[in-house]
Structure 1
Amino acid sequence: MKLIATDLDGTLLNEKGNVSLENAQAIRKALDMGIQVVVATGRSYDAANKPIQEVGLSLPIISLNGANTYTKEKELIRDIPMDRSICKKIQTVCEEENMYFEVFTNKGIFSLSRDDFKQVIMDIMMTAHPTISKEEIELAVEQRFQDEEVQFISNYDELFKDKNINIYKILAFSLDNSTLQKVRETFTDHSSVKITSSGSINLEFNDPQAQKGIALSLFAESQNISMQDVMALGDNYNDLSMLTLAGRGVAMGNAEEGIKQQCDFITKENKQNGVAYAIEEMLKEVNLS
């Protein structure tokens, strides 16, 4: 293996949203052995870089599911915005279905309602952790405001008209599975959008070229690395394109069952330092070969 690509939420980050000491040490060990490491996440660049920097690491980052790729020196080397006409279509459909959604752009993240934003975060926390306390939920809401700087606007019309704005991802939420499925099916025949998911209650809309697998393949190629020499780690469906293209696709122990079925390896859960375990297991095989 010459390159490791890791997702963040549910993968490299533990249940507290941090990179554990064990995971950071394993990454440093791989780097010291000449193995490159890149982050591939649905997060914006700033939100992705923050937990990496907190443990003293400086890594290339594929953000917004592959819409942007940055070097470890923070240079943007790949930029894949969405078509504006499909953004308007997504807006119309989501509004018809009463779905809360956010728009990720080169000028930050935009939402229409701070109250709806807070309610969505609370719903996510309660769905993932039914026994969580009100105090913990409130802390999680405030943490989201810190992780992703969301700007609140009165409507999206002006945003979509602004030619200085590049739209990279639209993230929509619903607690109703039938609504999620209906919206997904609406875009089945639209070749200008790719829909994935990073959780059971959301849909992520990107340009078809803005996929983790495509971005990772191009990054590996730029480093003269074959995808057979890449290990990719993830837990959800927005990771699938890179997990299936990598020579060593590793599903987290907490990954969706459908993800596990399409990977050759399954590591421990994110709260059990699963990334560190996967790296150590891979390094053992490298040393034995």
Structure 2
Amino acid sequence: MKLIATDLDGTLLNEKSEVSSKNILAIRKAQESGIEVVIATGRSYEAAKKPLMEAGLSCPIICVNGSLVYLKSGEIIRTIPLDKESCRKIQLACESEHMYFEIYTSNGGYSVNRDKFIHVLINMMKSHFPNVETDVLKERIQQRFQDEKIQATDDFDVIFNNPNIDVYKFLAFSLEDVTLHRVREQLKDEQDLAITSSGHLNLEINHRDANKGAALSFYANRLGIELEDVMALGDNFNDYSMLEIAGFSVAMENADPAIKELCDFTTKKNSEHGVAFAIEKVLEGEFSKQTF
């Protein structure tokens, strides 16, 4: 194994949105043995870097679902923005279904007044963290707005018409599956879009070439590493593209069943240091075509 790519939320990060001490140790051991470890996340660069810095880790970061690739130094080596016409189509589709949505840009994140949608985000997080108190979830959501630098706006056209701002991703939420389906249906014929999800209550919309798989392939090729020597770990559908191309694909025990079906292996839950467990198997030479 020469390269390991891991998702953050639901994968490397535990129920406290932290990198556990066991995961930290395993990543450091992999790096010391000469294995490149890269983060691949739907988060923005700033929000992805924060838990790594808190853990004392330094890794290249594929962020915003592959729209941007950063080296350890912070240098951007790949960028795939949405075109502005597509942005307006996505905006209209989301607004027609009264969905709360955010856009990730080169100038931070933007959303409409988010206060009335906080209950939607709380309910979304409750599905992932059923044992966490509502007040704690609300505090995490407020922190997330700060980490992602989400700014309020009443006029997205000002952003879309600004030639100095690139838009990389729309993240839209709904408590109703039928609403998510209707937005997908509205945009299904847009050939330049990739529509995926990092949870059953959201949609993530990027340029078709901005996905984790394409970005991971780009990065591996840059290092001269064959995909058969790459291990990828994830838990949800925005991880699908990289799990599909990696020589060794690993689903978390908490992953969506369809992701488990796709992958070669299933490791422990993110709350049980599943990334560390998989890395240890690699380092010990115990990787075989069976569930861990």
Q: Common fold, TM-score beyond 0.5?
A: yes
By how many angstroms is 1:287 displaced?
Answer: 9.6
* Corresponding residue number in structure 2 for 1:138: 138
By how many angstroms is 1:116 displaced?
Answer: 3.3
Check 1:4–1:131 CA distance in 2 against 1; reply closer, same or farther (3 A cut).
closer
1:216 and 2:209 aligned:
no
* Corresponding residue number in structure 2 for 1:245: 245
* Corresponding residue number in structure 2 for 1:207: 207
Code of the residue aligned with 2:7 in structure 1: it is D
Q: How many Å separate the matches in 1 of 2:182 and 2:75?
A: 39
Q: Name the SS of the counterpart of 2:136 in structure 1.
A: helix
* Corresponding residue number in structure 1 for 2:177: 177
Q: Name the SS of the counterpart of 2:102 in structure 1.
A: strand
Maintained 8 Å contact 1:213/1:243? yes
Maintained 8 Å contact 2:52/2:58? yes
Q: How many Å separate the matches in 1 of 2:100 and 2:43?
A: 18
By how many angstroms is 1:131 displaced?
Answer: 4.9
By how many angstroms is 1:130 displaced?
Answer: 4.2
Q: How many Å separate the matches in 2 of 1:158 and 1:90?
A: 16
Check 1:22–1:132 CA distance in 2 against 1; reply closer, same or farther (3 A cut).
closer
Maintained 8 Å contact 1:111/1:117? no
Maintained 8 Å contact 1:48/1:63? yes
1:66 and 2:66 aligned:
yes
* Corresponding residue number in structure 2 for 1:254: 254
By how many angstroms is 1:117 displaced?
Answer: 4.5
Code of the residue aligned with 1:108 in structure 2: it is G
* Corresponding residue number in structure 1 for 2:153: 153
Maintained 8 Å contact 2:122/2:134? no
Unaligned runs of 5+ in 1: none
Deviations 1:184-215 (A, max 9, x none): 12222211100010000000000011000000
By how many angstroms is 1:161 displaced?
Answer: 1.1
Moved more, 57-66 or 119-128: 119-128
Query: How large is the RMSD of aligned CA atoms in angstroms?
Result: 1.5
* Corresponding residue number in structure 2 for 1:103: 103
By how many angstroms is 1:122 displaced?
Answer: 1.5
By how many angstroms is 1:183 displaced?
Answer: 1.1
Calculate percent identity across the aligned residue pairs. Answer: 52
By how many angstroms is 1:64 displaced?
Answer: 0.2
1:226 and 2:204 aligned:
no
Code of the residue aligned with 2:21 in structure 1: it is L
Q: How many Å separate the matches in 2 of 1:10 and 1:56?
A: 20
Maintained 8 Å contact 1:100/1:116? no
By how many angstroms is 1:153 displaced?
Answer: 1.1
Maintained 8 Å contact 1:102/1:170? yes
By how many angstroms is 1:169 displaced?
Answer: 0.2
* Corresponding residue number in structure 1 for 2:264: 264
1:118 and 2:118 aligned:
yes
* Corresponding residue number in structure 1 for 2:31: 31
1:192 and 2:196 aligned:
no
- Alignment TM-score, normalising by the size of structure 2: 0.95
Maintained 8 Å contact 2:106/2:166? yes
By how many angstroms is 1:119 displaced?
Answer: 2.8
* Corresponding residue number in structure 2 for 1:164: 164
Deviations 1:117-170 (A, max 9, x none): 523321212333445423222322232133221111122121111111100000
How do residues 10-21 of structure 1 correspond to structure 2 at under 5 angstroms? 10-21=10-21
Code of the residue aligned with 1:186 in structure 2: it is Q
* Corresponding residue number in structure 2 for 1:281: 281
Deviations 1:236-277 (A, max 9, x none): 000000001000000001000000000000000000000000
Q: Count how many residue pairs are aligned between Structure 1 and Structure 2.
A: 288
Q: Name the SS of the counterpart of 1:285 in structure 2.
A: coil
Maintained 8 Å contact 1:251/1:267? yes
Q: Name the SS of the counterpart of 2:190 in structure 1.
A: coil
Check 1:190–1:278 CA distance in 2 against 1; reply closer, same or farther (3 A cut).
same
Q: How many Å separate the matches in 2 of 1:36 and 1:132?
A: 34
